[in-house]
Chain A
């Protein structure tokens, strides 16, 4: 009897464990993602009388908002164009040429992706601003009395900074496809009499198109939803939908107006994301088996005009990619006093001061501590929930699995400002009155990080032969023990990658944070923004360097553990 009871109990416990593994993350996403978003959309689509499109149509009839909308599209289109113009030649260099450090450059193309946008904006101000390194250099060189280049606080500045972010994405997509493109196609065309440029236009480019289109679509989405860069580089004149949502909600305390804009933005972003997913699927289908492609050396061989063009391009991209980061680093260690630049550690001393700074309305040290603890907490939550979801998504086939996948990956395509607004609206009233609590920010970060955890853990799980856990079952281990003792240790590299991603996303996040932050809950990126807004560039730089250093450290950890996993 007792035996029978336990025999019935075990499957019950198993089922309970399985259900928790999936129910907990879904509950979390339901409460803190879908419920707030539904509230947001509902308020965007309703008035006192019920459902209406009036709020949305009012956006189009308001000439200022119409202008903002058009500017957002224009800015995103130009940024995409610039990203392609920069990313495509870079992809060509990486596939057609050999040069020392090529592998380094290839892996460095993920760096912009990991950099907090606000630090990039700072770097752009320091290099391209009216008082920036470029203008000062040109003024000194040509004895000019005023800055010759007005790049910043303009459309060009925003587009350039977005290209910094998105050109490497385009490069990664295109280079991956280009390396796999069999050179026989181009050789066939040449044997048929086509000159090089015709081969590129008729053969290479069309065959790279799926990859190029996927990369460009991603660049467009990111530029469309970009917040910190436009906030910092747009000045007062240039505003996008994202910045406008922030202004309405935080500065004008006009939640319903912000909600209407956010609803519209969600709809547009949803359309683009669906378009991107279709392109990406086509791109995946077109990927070919890798064929070694002939490469030329960049350094040896005859130096024709072609080679000089390449060198010029490399110099220009180095300026774009390296100068902003270098400028931040230099600026954090220097102080300019009466045309004299001297080395100083003052800025670092300033950011480690525990006393209140009126400039950022908080103590800088507090913001460092906040960022680290929020990132730690978000990492734990996202890792736990994301791993639970990944286990379910890989190990079982069930009806509605692709729906579940869509539901849990959706935070990838969301504007962080809109998410911040949705949470803000939800948290100000019961049942979820968490407003002003640190957990509000941690929740936002966890939601943004969960898809990345799933992406990191899933491949590790898929590589894990199912036979392994079957063998453990056969030896009598319960599923829970199997998971704990066999599966988790074996996917440790994936878990570590997921954890580092979650940590890095949280610590770099500014858009949702700035919507939810309160005095005392300031984080490092928001502190950088406040320093920057009050033109405390030295302190902003020091804080940025610290932020980048923490993120870099986290990524070095991944790199190391990846190597160990390969060796072990």
Chain B
């Protein structure tokens, strides 16, 4: 059952079309990540849901009912901004308790709710502190606790981790995931960081220029992107241009540059739309970690090793097949070995299941 539904939303600021026809449904209890490049309209979408902006057209439904007539304070959304906006003149406890003033609770219930949240967020002992006396991570937890206290119907997080350093970001994103799972609160989490989105979200929505490009599970998004934009935005990928020479319900044969024939196999369950017809120009997405640096797989390519990039956990091999540049991923244990291959020609190979045909960009 869907908790929140956006139907064909439009919002323009002056000459900027910030949101251009977005429709999506957030399911009850899910964590939906919203990613996209800067300025693509993520924040605007959240602000439309929260009621700080009014859409030019379109509809927003909470539990099947329109909320466009409601003021932000009536919508029961919890929101956490990038800079947290903790009230600086209130203590941690007062911050968390603020939203409870506006729900019908007895004094005792309020105290209990605040204590519960302090405990849940690991903030016990800090309740008297002023926000400026907290570390960035603690501030973030207080902001979350404050937003969650009145039991919102939906939690909106606008890049709550982007102000933190990389290590803290990884700890806190797992914490958000755990908390969200425990409380079962429907959440929309906006982030710049596609890795963060893949790591914690049940589903990921990718936006570009005010439009929704794709909404699917992290795996689906990574392995079977619907557009070239999504393929490039999520993870690293090699996009190989070619022409379809044979098309069947669950497999294609594509002619790539520098390779006679390449077999592409798509299990029918995956095929969300019909495969391209014979003669169509396609791009094949091949993820670096799916490349085998040997001729042991069904599809083969001849390449030249250009350079090697050592990144710690893994290494990357930069390859060239004719005009096409490719990246292949190596376990870092193999780095020394491949160092010696720089400048040499090698054969790489990949399985038919590990390539994904994208329609050519228009």
Contact = CB atoms under 8 A, between A and B. Distances in A.
A182 B52 CA distance: 14
A194 B149 CA distance: 14
Given A192-B146, A193-B150, A194-B102, A187 B85 contact: yes
Interface string A500-539: 0000000000000000000000000000000000000000
A194 B101 contact: yes
A193 B52 contact: no
A417 B102 CA distance: 54
A189 B103 CA distance: 13
Contacts of A193: 73-74, 76, 99, 101-103, 150
A191 B50 contact: yes
Nearest to B85: A184
A182 B103 contact: no
A185 B84 CA distance: 9
B98 A192 contact: yes
Which secondary structure dominates chain A's binding surface?
Answer: helix
B27 to A, nearest CB: 22
Contacts of B71: 190, 195
A202 B88 contact: no
A207 B90 CA distance: 10
A200 to B, nearest CB: 13
A191 B78 contact: yes
A189 B99 CA distance: 7
A194 B89 contact: no
Contact of A202 (B85, B98, B103, B150): B98
A188 B150 CA distance: 13
Contacts of B74: 193
Contact of B73 (A184, A194, A202): A194
B83 interface: yes
A419 B185 CA distance: 69
A194 B87 CA distance: 14
Nearest to B72: A190
A203 interface: yes
A206 interface: yes
Interface string A85-119: 00000000000000000000000000000000000
A191 B85 CA distance: 12
A36 B83 CA distance: 55
B78 A182 contact: no
A203 B72 CA distance: 16
Interface in A474-508: none
Nearest to A207: B89
A257 B103 CA distance: 64
A191 B73 contact: yes
B230 interface: no
Report the contact-size class of chain A (Cβ under 8 Å from the partner).
10 to 19
Contacts of A185: 85, 87
B346 to A, nearest CB: 54
Nearest to A291: B83
Contacts of A184: 81, 83, 85
B238 to A, nearest CB: 41
Nearest to B50: A191
Contacts of A188: 79, 81, 85, 87, 146
B83 A191 contact: no
A194 B101 CA distance: 8
B231 to A, nearest CB: 35
B89 A187 contact: no
A194 B98 contact: yes
Contacts of B85: 182, 184-185, 187-188
Contacts of B52: 187, 190
A201 B271 CA distance: 57
B77 interface: yes
Contacts of B4: none
A207 B87 CA distance: 9
A196 B50 CA distance: 15
Contacts of B150: 192-193
B33 interface: no
B308 interface: no
Contacts of A207: 87-89
B150 to A, nearest CB: 6
B147 interface: yes
A511 to B, nearest CB: 39
Contacts of B101: 193-194, 198
B73 A195 contact: yes
Contacts of B73: 190-196
Interface of A: 182, 184-185, 187-196, 198, 202-203, 206-207
19 contacts: A182-B85, A184-B81, A184-B85, A188-B146, A191-B50, A191-B78, A192-B73, A192-B102, A192-B150, A193-B74, A193-B76, A193-B102, A193-B103, A194-B73, A194-B99, A195-B73, A198-B102, A207-B87, A207-B88
Given A184-B85, A194-B99, 16 more contacts: A182-B83, A190-B72, A190-B73, A191-B147, A192-B98, A192-B149, A193-B74, A193-B99, A193-B103, A194-B98, A194-B102, A198-B101, A203-B87, A206-B89, A207-B87, A207-B89
Which 8 A/B pairs are nearest by Cβ-Cβ distance?
Answer: A192-B99, A193-B102, A184-B85, A190-B72, A191-B79, A188-B85, A206-B89, A184-B81
